Amino acid sequence: MKVLVIEDDHKIAGSIKKGLEQEGNTVDLAFDGETGLDLATEVNHDVVILDLMLPKMDGIEVSKSLRKENIHTPILMLTARGGLSDKLIGFESGADDYLVKPFAFEELIARVNALTRRPSEIKNSKLIINNLELDINRFEVKLENKNVGLSRKE
């Protein structure tokens, strides 16, 4: 699994990276929101672990920006802010889960594994190239707006 950790505290980021790598994962690190957003948009990750309070761009803005760009990678917010309003704002920004620091590493792993077990959401089920249209949800292919008869296997 490929994980992006966006955390400004180098010690916490390093500990998370080490633990995730010991579990067999590949980990990319970013220490500010802008760099994290760039990595998240340029590289395909299975999950993003995102701190809320970051330099350059906070975690809420990173999360909103990812969702605005139609990036549906699961986001786990990992932050010291544990108030109900903070959690609600995090979820509203696009986070899929929220874990408050300090945390048990075993719980972090369990939450990451739970997030990656969920099927990816497909927002746009149609692929259109010139006069060819493929609808993945309906298993239909159209050429020049006419259905192409394909078997289920095709």
Q: Do 153 and 93 share a structural domain?
A: no
pLDDT value at 17 more than 90: yes
pLDDT value at 137 more than 80: no
Instruction: Identify the pLDDT of residue 133.
Output: 82
Instruction: Identify the pLDDT of residue 148.
Output: 84
How many Cβ atoms are within 10 Å of 122's Cβ, its own excluded?
9
Q: Do 79 and 141 share a structural domain?
A: no
pLDDT confidence of 47, banded at 50, 70, 90?
Answer: very high
Q: Do 63 and 81 share a structural domain?
A: yes
Q: Do 138 and 105 share a structural domain?
A: no
Task: Report the pLDDT averaged over residues 47-66.
Answer: 95
| Range of the structural domain that residue 50 is part of | 2-117
How many Cβ atoms are within 10 Å of 76's Cβ, its own excluded?
21
pLDDT value at 28 more than 70: yes
Digit-coded pLDDT (tens) for 117-126: 866 555 556 6
Q: Do 87 and 28 share a structural domain?
A: yes
Instruction: Identify the pLDDT of residue 3.
Output: 95
Q: Do 133 and 65 share a structural domain?
A: no
Please report, for the domain that includes residue 12, its CATH number: 3.40.50.2300
Digit-coded pLDDT (tens) for 62-108: 999 999 988 889 999 998 888 899 999 999 999 999 999 999 999 99
Instruction: Identify the pLDDT of residue 108.
Output: 94
Instruction: Identify the pLDDT of residue 43.
Output: 87
- Provide the residue type at 66 as one letter: L
pLDDT confidence of 48, banded at 50, 70, 90?
Answer: very high
Give Cα 126 to chain centroid, integer Å: 22
Instruction: Identify the pLDDT of residue 119.
Output: 62
Q: Do 69 and 136 share a structural domain?
A: no
Q: Do 144 and 112 share a structural domain?
A: no
The verdict on whether omega for the bond into residue 102 sits within 30 degrees of 0, i.e. cis, is yes
The total of structural domains in the chain comes to: 2
- Provide the residue type at 103 as one letter: F
Q: Do 148 and 75 share a structural domain?
A: no
What stretch of H or E contains 132?
strand 132-135
Q: Do 143 and 109 share a structural domain?
A: no
